[in-house]
Amino acid sequence: MKATEQNSKTKRFEKKHIRIILSLSLLVVLLLAYAALRDGDTLITHKQANALYSKDKIEKVVIDGDYIHLKTADRGYKIYKDAINTAAFFSKYPVEVKEDKSYLFDLVLLAILIGSIFYLFRMMKINRLQQLKQIRGAREENAEIYEPVQALTSNVTFKDVAGIKDVKEELEEIIDFLREPQKYRELDIRLPKGVLLVGPPGVGKTLISKAVAGEAGVPFFYQSGASFVHIYVGMGAKRVSELFKKAKQMAPSIIFIDEIDAVGKSRGEFRNDEREATLNQLLTEMDGFEESSGVIVIGATNKIDVLDEALLRAGRFDRRIHISLPDLEERAKTLELYLVHKPNNVDIEEIARMTVGFNSAALDTLTNEAAIFAMREGRKVVENSDFEAVKEKVLLGKRKILSFTEEERRVQAVYQSAKAVVATWLDVEFEKIGIVTTRLLLQEHEILSRSKLINRIKVYLAGSIATKLHYNEQFTNASADIRQAKELVNKVIYTYAMSDNFIVTPLQEEELLRDTVSEVTALLKTLDQALSEVSEYLLQHENITQEKCKEILRELF
């Protein structure tokens, strides 16, 4: 209630000063306009003055300091008095001498301007002091500014999360640690303080963290990264401090920070003092508790590339779990889970095949929309036709989700299989390559050879070359890989200076790309049979590991 009253007072105070500032600004503008227009006579030359004299258009002559003003019926002119024969003008036309009050006027105008500016600065200073007073009051009453930190009890378990078998395995030891931390302490085993879940939106990062808390049976503290970036300076850091204090008190426990990139962006770019203070506090808190304290911090992001390096170093979020879009098998299990309480006559495998690129959230939405459609049709059982009827509706709201026709799936299978085969042949390590995903392992070496970099470029180019060989056509799905290939070529030539000459030209980039394309083309023609088999495997399973790709190559070569 007090916070509401305070906000109301602030708004009234701001409105009052806005009116004053606008009024003073208008006064200054009017004074400046008057000063500019008070002498509106046009400055003319000796020749122009004589022309007015000859045509007898002058009605009156006014002496004003060093200038002679010539007044005609419709306007006024002025000329420097030594530029004309004043005797002739004075004898012919009535003369008027203007009293020199300009200095007094200028002094008054200057005083008004100085007074107005001083008043404006004074109002700004008062406004600033008022804001500081409000901030101090807000800090004293911070409990009223935001909800206090509260622990949640999670009823979600891994039974409620379909698929993601690899992710579950990685999290099992953390669950076991939260259940029996003493067992690990006795063996002096240190587990990571922080786990970072990395993946595109909608793949279930929040649900997974809740499942970890539910499986371990420990308190769960949920916070959004955006909730730390508070309007009041210092409030975000205080909130982080309170969150960790509460989690330690209730240990073992889990702190889950969703969209951690909102507070954990790299410092120095687009500087924000409040966000940096909050990030510094988060880093300090993660350093401040021991590995055996029983508190695990789980962060979630789909923008790991923007996170501050200090947040990712060993001892903080030093374990990263990548969650990709579900493959065919995972989509089938997810659909089965979502349909378990809905009466249905659905061929789950068929629906799984038609939902390439759908994440867990999209599958949930699709299943619900299909059930609603069946109800509207007057049926109590969901069928395949219901999914087909609402699929486009779901897609329109999710533009990033890919949904291929059968022909597009085949094109994409050829494209991705070429990358898998070339990467395996050239020893470019990858975790998994699928119809919609490519997960090449990041280079962890400080020193990279030219041949390794060239091999990576070949992998990026393999897909577009394979589809051109197979279909004698080029496709838009190659754009991202071609861009990466060009960026890496640019680094090889310019950044790493891996060319025959230290002075390089764009021609060398073109030459390197042309040679690479030629080599990949020859390699793909040699590996054509392997390409066909891997392509068929992808059409059936949608993902292939490097080990499976090696197995296929061993059988053929």
Domain finish residue from 345, 374, 396: 396
Question: Which of the 8 DSSP states describes residue 149?
Answer: P
Contact of 67 with 79, CB cutoff 8 Å:
yes
Q: What is the CATH number of the domain that holds 57?
A: 3.30.720.210
Q: How would residue 526 be classed by pLDDT, with cut points 50, 70 and 90? A: very high
> Computed from CA positions of residues 147, 150, 155, 158, in that sequence, does the dihedral angle turn out positive or negative?
positive
Flag whether 523 is in a domain. yes
Total domain count, the chain: 5
Question: 25 and 59: one domain?
Answer: no
Same-domain status, 506 and 537 = yes
CATH number, domain containing residue 531 = 1.20.58.760
Same domain, 11 and 83: no
Q: In angstroms, rounded to a whole number, what is the distance separating the alpha carbons of residues 175 and 228?
A: 27
Would you state the pLDDT for residue 103?
54
The verdict on 415 and 431 lying in the same domain is yes
Residue 341 lies in a domain: yes
Mean pLDDT value of segment 2-13: 52
Within this chain, do residues 91 and 126 fall inside the same structural domain, yes or no?
no
Report whether pLDDT(149) > 80: no
Write phi, then psi, for 190 (nearest 5 degrees): -105, 125
Asked whether the predicted pLDDT for residue 130 surpasses 50, the reply is yes
List the beta bridge partners of residue 298. 195, 256
What is the pLDDT confidence band of residue 400, given thresholds at 50, 70 and 90? very low
One domain for residues 265 and 124 = no
| DSSP structure string for 202-240 | TS-HHHHHHHHHHHHT--EEEEEHHHHS-SSTTHHHHHH
Backbone Cα Rg of the chain = 38
> Which span out of 50-54, 103-107, 341-345 was modeled with the highest average pLDDT?
341-345
For the cut 90, the answer to whether the pLDDT of residue 542 exceeds it is no
50, 84 in Cβ contact below 8 A? yes
Final residue of a structural domain among 145, 168, 198: 145
pLDDT of 42 reads 79
> Are 168 and 264 contained in the same domain?
yes
The pLDDT value recorded for residue 125 is 72
Give the end of a domain, one of 290, 322, 354.
322
Does a structural domain hold residue 153? no
Segment 124-146 shows an average pLDDT of 58
CB burial string 34-63: b at 16+ within 10 A, e below? eeeeeeebeebeeeebeebbeeeebeebbe
Task: Kindly report the CATH number assigned to the domain that includes residue 344.
Answer: 1.10.8.60
Which pLDDT score, from 0 to 100, does residue 373 have?
A: 87
Q: Mean pLDDT for the chain? A: 78
Q: Please tell me whether residue 98 adopts helix, strand or coil conformation.
A: coil
User: Quick check: is 195 in a domain?
Assistant: yes
32 and 44, same domain (yes or no):
no
- Rounded Cα distance, 526 and 534, in Å: 14
- What pLDDT score was predicted for residue 2? 44
Same domain, 382 and 494: no
372 shares its domain with 415: no
Assess if residue 401 is contained within a domain: no
Q: How far is CA 85 from CA 41, 63, 105, 201, in A?
A: 20, 14, 31, 86
Local confidence band at 415 (pLDDT 50, 70, 90 cut-offs): very high
The secondary structure of 5-17 as a DSSP string is HHHHHHHHHHHHH
Q: How far apart are CA 191 and CA 173, in angstroms?
A: 9
Read out DSSP for 536-557? HHHHHHSEE-HHHHHHHHHHH-
Instruction: For residue 150, tell me if it sits in a domain.
Output: no
* Confidence band of 287 (pLDDT split at 50, 70, 90): confident
Residue 59: domain span: 39-100
Q: How far is 459 from 424, CA to CA, in rounded Å?
A: 9
Distance from C-alpha of 12 to C-alpha of 7, rounded to nearest angstrom: 9
Measure the CA–CA gap between 508 and 513, rounded to whole angstroms.
9
> Is there a domain that residue 179 lies in?
yes
Same domain? 222 vs 360 = no
Task: Decide if pLDDT at 9 tops 90.
Answer: no
Please, which pLDDT band fits residue 1 given cuts at 50, 70 and 90?
very low
pTM: 0.54
Residue 291 lies in a domain: yes
pLDDT digits (tens, 9 = 90+) for 501-520: 777 788 888 999 999 999 99
Is residue 415 domain-shared with residue 492, that is, in the same domain? yes
pLDDT tens, residue by residue, 439-456:
676 655 668 899 999 999
